[in-house]
Amino acid sequence: MTEKVRSEVDKFMSGLIRRNPGETEFHQAVQEVAESVMPFLFDHPEYRKASILERLTEPDRIITFRVCWRDDQGNVRTNRAWRVQCNNSIGPYKGGLRFHPSVTLSVLKFLAFEQVLKNSLTTLPMGGAKGGANFNPKGKSDEEVMRFCQSMMIELSRHIGEDTDVPAGDIGVGGREVSYLFGQYKRLQNRWTGTITGKGLSFGGSLIRTEATGYGCVYFAQNMLEHRGDSLEGKTCLISGSGNVALYTIEKSLELGAKPVTASDSSGFIHDPDGIDEEKLAFLKDLKEVRRGRIHEYAEKFGCEFIPNERPWNIPADVAFPCATQNEILEGDAKTLLGHGVRVVCEGANMPSELAAAHQFLAAKILYAPSKAANAGGVAVSGLEQSQNSLRLTWTREEVDRRLREIMQKIHAQCVEYGRRGGDDVNYVDGANLAGFVKVADAMLAHGIV
Ligand code: NDP
């Protein structure tokens, strides 16, 4: 980065930090994009003149509201919920809902901002939003989760709609929560619309939606490897998390001949040097999706190691798929991974690498795929779910999978086009940021000052 660009990024960031005090995750997400986009803005003054980056980093609107509900003991409980509608220049707002005690406005603003560029990369007409609540579904009964979802939807329903804003799941919001939210929305509207995605298959859900983020992430890793004449076959893979994204990343990496050896949750990780095979994965799915148990049970069942309160980044491997949460790879972890010869880091979770860790991967010129490219398969199939709902049609598993693979290839091609550094070396961070940005920026320029 030249001095001129660095000083412009610093100036832009100091204004953003002043306007959004204490929102560290939001600052981090914007900084990464500003570093990629600023050189491009110098070459294209029309975007600077129209203050596109300033406008893109100020959400269209943020809704904050109280959610009251009654627990099983009859106590009244109060949570805070948000919907951050960031930008709808290229299509209706779209993005998940997160239920986790760590949810803050800063987290949702970073996720909504990332979502704008990610949705643009999918090639589908979707704007970007994100929402959620500081509600912890863990340890709650189904009835309690239902009452919370119904109460939240009473307010949220005023701000969403099939052509306005289409929420989906994220951390803590899986099939059960989406179903309760959808049921209440339908009741309030007295209309059946595809306003929420990730629905059950019997009421408008798309085949492959459950698997899409994990599958898409592995397809992206395969695309990057193929670009260098290599493949996933025989590669040892580290996976963090054991939720929706992690489980289907494990499944697809197995299918493509790789060897996944770790999985984790917030209590620690398991290391299975023999590899998580199909039978073990079936156990893990039942443990996490049905019984909602803890990861150490896997180690007890299959006689492997459980390492409490740690993440799997000190295990030597060829590929890392961080699939749990933001900032789970710190700079030191990145150095450890590189020291062990990691060749691919492909982000299933949103912003799992802190900025200094991402800089390490970029400097080492490994195949490093940022989340907005690598995990876009989830929202892409959500977009396909919306199309099927509008058409009142259901595509086959093969059809949706084919479209998903094609979309991941197109995202990869855009990253290569905008991020090529010479030869077969690609800066996927710059590529994803620029390709996502240009499409939205052009739409904003065309719309005038709004
Ligand atoms: P789930 O709730 O299904 O799973 C999350 C997993 O990550 C769990 O294993 C959880 O452990 C672990 N985890 C969550 N928070 C923490 C934390 N603070 N520290 C350690 N471990 C943690 O979520 P998803 O799989 O849906 O989402 C995972 C990531 O992927 C998120 O970053 C999400 O934004 C991103 N993503 C998800 C998409 C989707 O389609 N679902 C689409 C695109 C991105 P525990 O159970 O112990 O909390």
- Rounded Cα distance between 413 and 118, Å, is 14
Which ligand 1 atom is nearest residue 111's CA?
34
In CATH, what number is assigned to the domain containing residue 325?
Answer: 3.40.50.720
Does ligand 1 have an atom closer than 6 angstroms to the CB of 322?
A: no
Which residue among 170, 297, 310 is best mutated to probe the pocket of ligand 1, counting the most ligand atoms within 8 A of its Cβ? Answer: 170
402 belongs to a structural domain: no
Which ligand 1 atom is nearest residue 376's CA?
43
Residues 20 and 43 in one domain: yes
Report yes or no: 318 and 343 within 8 Å, Cβ to Cβ. Answer: yes
Report yes or no: 254 and 276 within 8 Å, Cβ to Cβ. Answer: yes
Which ligand 1 atom is nearest residue 169's CA?
41
If you measure from the C-alpha of residue 135 to the centroid of ligand 1, how many angstroms do you get, rounded to a whole number?
Answer: 15
- Rounded Cα distance between 397 and 415, Å, is 27
Which residue among 266, 306, 309, 327 is best mutated to probe the pocket of ligand 1, counting the most ligand atoms within 8 A of its Cβ? Answer: 266
Does ligand 1 have an atom closer than 6 angstroms to the CB of 241?
A: yes
Residues 27 and 50 in one domain: yes
Q: What pLDDT was estimated at residue 422?
A: 84
* Three-state secondary structure call for residue 135: coil
Residues 170 and 241 in one domain: no
Output the tens digit of pLDDT for each of the chain's 450 residues: 899 999 999 999 999 999 999 999 999 999 999 999 999 999 999 999 999 999 999 999 999 999 999 999 999 999 999 999 999 999 999 999 999 999 999 999 999 999 999 999 999 999 999 999 999 999 999 999 999 999 999 999 999 999 999 999 999 999 999 999 999 999 999 999 999 999 999 999 999 999 999 999 999 999 999 999 999 999 999 999 999 999 999 999 999 999 999 999 999 999 999 999 999 999 999 999 999 999 999 999 999 999 999 999 999 999 999 999 999 999 999 999 999 999 999 999 999 999 999 999 999 999 999 999 999 999 999 999 999 999 999 999 999 999 999 999 999 999 999 999 888 899 999 999 999 999 999 999 999 999
Q: What pLDDT was estimated at residue 160?
A: 98
392 belongs to a structural domain: no
Residues 236 and 98 in one domain: no
Q: What pLDDT was estimated at residue 407?
A: 98
If you measure from the C-alpha of residue 245 to the centroid of ligand 1, how many angstroms do you get, rounded to a whole number?
Answer: 7
Does ligand 1 have an atom closer than 6 angstroms to the CB of 167?
A: no
Does ligand 1 have an atom closer than 6 angstroms to the CB of 245?
A: yes
pTM over 0.85: yes
* Three-state secondary structure call for residue 417: helix
423 belongs to a structural domain: no
Pick from 146, 161, 191: which residue ends a domain? 191
- Rounded Cα distance between 428 and 418, Å, is 8
Q: Which two tokens stand for residue 148?
A: 């919370």
391 belongs to a structural domain: no
Pick from 308, 341, 369: which residue ends a domain? 369
Residues 69 and 40 in one domain: no
Report strand pairing: 93-99 vs 259-260: unpaired
Q: What pLDDT was estimated at residue 100?
A: 98
Helix (H) or strand (E) holding 38: helix 24-43
If you measure from the C-alpha of residue 210 to the centroid of ligand 1, how many angstroms do you get, rounded to a whole number?
Answer: 13
- Rounded Cα distance between 428 and 421, Å, is 10
End-to-end Cα separation, the chain, in angstroms: 32
Residues 234 and 360 in one domain: yes
Residues 231 and 341 in one domain: yes
Residue nearest to atom 37 of ligand 1 (CA): 170
Q: What is the DSSP track for 219-276? A: HHHHHHHHHTT--STT-EEEE---SHHHHHHHHHHHHTT-EE-EEEETTEEEE-TT--
Q: What is the DSSP letter of 206?
A: P
Q: What pLDDT was estimated at residue 358?
A: 98
Residues 129 and 235 in one domain: no
Q: What is the DSSP letter of 315?
A: S
Number of structural domains in the chain? 3
If you measure from the C-alpha of residue 440 to the centroid of ligand 1, how many angstroms do you get, rounded to a whole number?
Answer: 27
Q: What pLDDT was estimated at residue 423?
A: 83
Which residue among 104, 242, 265 is best mutated to probe the pocket of ligand 1, counting the most ligand atoms within 8 A of its Cβ? Answer: 265
If you measure from the C-alpha of residue 341 to the centroid of ligand 1, how many angstroms do you get, rounded to a whole number?
Answer: 26
Residues 51 and 73 in one domain: no
Q: What pLDDT was estimated at residue 23?
A: 98
pLDDT in tens, 131-157: 999 999 999 999 999 999 999 999 999
Residues 74 and 37 in one domain: no
Residues 75 and 127 in one domain: yes
Residues 282 and 306 in one domain: yes
* Three-state secondary structure call for residue 344: strand
Residue nearest to atom 40 of ligand 1 (CA): 378
If you measure from the C-alpha of residue 244 to the centroid of ligand 1, how many angstroms do you get, rounded to a whole number?
Answer: 7
Q: What is the DSSP track for 66-128? A: EEEEE-TTS-EEEEEEEEEEEE-SSSSEEEEEEE-TT--HHHHHHHHHHHHHHHHHTTSS--E
Does ligand 1 have an atom closer than 6 angstroms to the CB of 244?
A: yes
Which ligand 1 atom is nearest residue 198's CA?
40
Which ligand 1 atom is nearest residue 212's CA?
40
Report yes or no: 437 and 33 within 8 Å, Cβ to Cβ. Answer: yes
If you measure from the C-alpha of residue 240 to the centroid of ligand 1, how many angstroms do you get, rounded to a whole number?
Answer: 9
51 belongs to a structural domain: yes
34 belongs to a structural domain: yes
Pick from 158, 191, 224: which residue ends a domain? 191
Look up the domain containing 317 and give its range. 212-369
414 belongs to a structural domain: no
In CATH, what number is assigned to the domain containing residue 100?
Answer: 3.40.50.10860
Q: Which residues are catalytic?
A: 130
Q: How far is CA 351 from CA 171, 283, 348, 357, in A?
A: 14, 28, 9, 11
Q: How far is CA 441 from CA 53, 127, 142, 202, 365, in A?
A: 8, 12, 43, 38, 28
